[in-house]
Chain A
């Protein structure tokens, strides 16, 4: 713990996080704090190490060095499912739906760590089991309504459109009642209308549900209009950290990532995706 105390409470504290794949240093000592009830952007060119960072925070990959704390509780030694129980939820860049399950079943699966029926009550199907299952389904349908998928609840998840699958992944992640939600390119593959609808949804998560979001995204308009703070990484290293306005002006960011054209164009209609 070397950082200064912020007035806002720190939900996620990432300190010197490093990942080495053989000779490749994918993430090199990255440090940042995500404050409670904010949207924090994590941006950088392709291959900068953003998804690797997500994988380390969610426990999908072990970190080579560094530490991760969720509200002062170290996560480093915990397996994925324990992190989920403690309040880390995520979506995936390449959608990982349970395609054969119905949409609502996907969301209930996201509640796994919040359901407690043991094998005994499952086998005798007693009242508490049935009540828990019915409550879970009702809550799952609420989550689906929140992301606007209540009509699709009983369809096969794999049959949904790409944009709908992204929203289903968000609903499924919300079902675990997270303290922090990690969104890996939530707008990737969405058409402009779907992307446009995503911004108010994510804002609602912050403003109405009081959630904390950490978001990797290449759509600069979405990032700049949504994020309270942004961390920029390139070649695995943090090169800038601050408010959207600060990051936009940061010379290292301009040099490494945005380029002069993007800066010049920011006053004009800023809908261009930086990604090739």
Chain B
């Protein structure tokens, strides 16, 4: 029994890790969407976390916990710096500025010789493992449920429904926007660092537009009624390419088709129920 479980784990290790990493990314995008902003910056924050974390262990020989901390703080600092000017934008304009951030960070990684330039960083030590991954994921899900069922969660839902009315209710709207962006950047950075230390290699092109839309599609498919929605969406979109392996060349097409179908027929996502916001 244990042997077969162990076999299963070794065979499907990449998928098992991928589901947890993508689940954390799903939570990151969930945060931004739950205040009604369109989120396309997650891939960039993930890349920043991955690079800073990988440099900490590979180049500087720092212990893994320090790398994790770096990978959370670096994207948080970037989010703070760009948040003040960009969060005055809304909707499509914010999305475009976040795409810009993604391109800028990609070009920076591409030309950063110290971090391997176009070749990327290789030889990243393997750290973390399945228990840490799923432990982090579960703790984050619980934490976001707790936050959701508090004055903060109510304020966030109020902002998603009507920003003006939320302000009149006493919600400090700009502060909530900035805090949400920073928290979301931290989660994406953490996911980036964890995945970098499982794949042993990162490249500058892994965190571009394609990744940004993939992360967004986790939430589109799963729904944002509860934190479980985007995690479920991430699990499905991670498993699907394996199940549909025989369609390998059409993978992105299938992903796209799923998103179109989800948006058209399940506008609230697969897990469409909404969390209660009282104790």
Contacts and interface: CB of A to CB of B under 8 A. Distances in A.
A245 interface: no
B150 A112 contact: no
Contacts of A113: 169-170
Interface string A125-148: 100011001100100000000000
Contact of B168 (A84, A101, A102, A117): A84
Contact of B170 (A60, A85, A105, A133): A85
Nearest to B268: A100
Contact of A96 (B152, B162, B173): B162
A129 B150 CA distance: 9
B170 A81 contact: yes
A38 interface: no
B151 A115 contact: yes
Contacts of A108: 151, 154, 277-278
A13 to B, nearest CB: 21
A92 B165 contact: yes
A274 interface: no
Contacts, number: 98
B171 interface: yes
Interface in A77-99: 79-81, 84-85, 89-90, 92, 96-99
B161 A98 contact: yes
Report the contact-size class of chain A (Cβ under 8 Å from the partner): 35 or more
Residue with the greatest number of chain B CB neighbours at <10 A, chosen from A80, A84, A105: A80
Interface in B255-271: none
Contacts of A267: none
Contact of A123 (B147, B151, B170): B147
12 contacts: A80-B167, A84-B167, A96-B164, A100-B274, A101-B158, A109-B166, A109-B169, A110-B170, A112-B155, A112-B158, A122-B152, A125-B146
Q: Which 6 A-B pairs have the closest CB atoms?
A: A113-B170, A133-B279, A80-B167, A84-B170, A96-B165, A112-B170
B170 A117 contact: no
Given A109-B166, A112-B171, 14 more contacts: A80-B164, A81-B170, A81-B173, A84-B169, A84-B170, A96-B162, A96-B164, A98-B162, A100-B157, A101-B154, A111-B151, A112-B154, A113-B169, A123-B147
Contacts of B276: 102
Contacts of B150: 117, 122, 129, 133
A79 B175 CA distance: 12
A269 interface: no
Contact of B152 (A100, A119, A176): A119
B240 interface: no
Contacts of A102: 276-277
A99 B166 CA distance: 13
Main secondary structure of the interface of A (DSSP, over half): helix
Interface of A: 58-60, 79-81, 84-85, 89-90, 92, 96-102, 104-105, 108-115, 117, 119, 122-123, 125, 129-130, 133-134, 137, 172, 176
Contact of B158 (A92, A109, A176): A109
Contact of A130 (B171, B173, B279): B279
Contacts of A85: 170
B161 A100 contact: yes
A58 B278 CA distance: 28
B247 interface: no
A130 B149 CA distance: 11
Interface in B125-180: 143, 146-147, 150-152, 154-155, 157-158, 161-162, 164-173
Given A117-B150, A133-B278, A90 B170 contact: no
Nearest to B154: A109
A175 to B, nearest CB: 9
Given A100-B157, A119-B152, A81 B171 contact: yes
B146 A123 contact: yes
A104 B168 contact: no
Contacts of B278: 104-105, 108, 133, 137
A114 B151 CA distance: 10
A126 to B, nearest CB: 11
Contacts of A97: 165
Given A100-B274, A105-B277, A122 B147 contact: yes
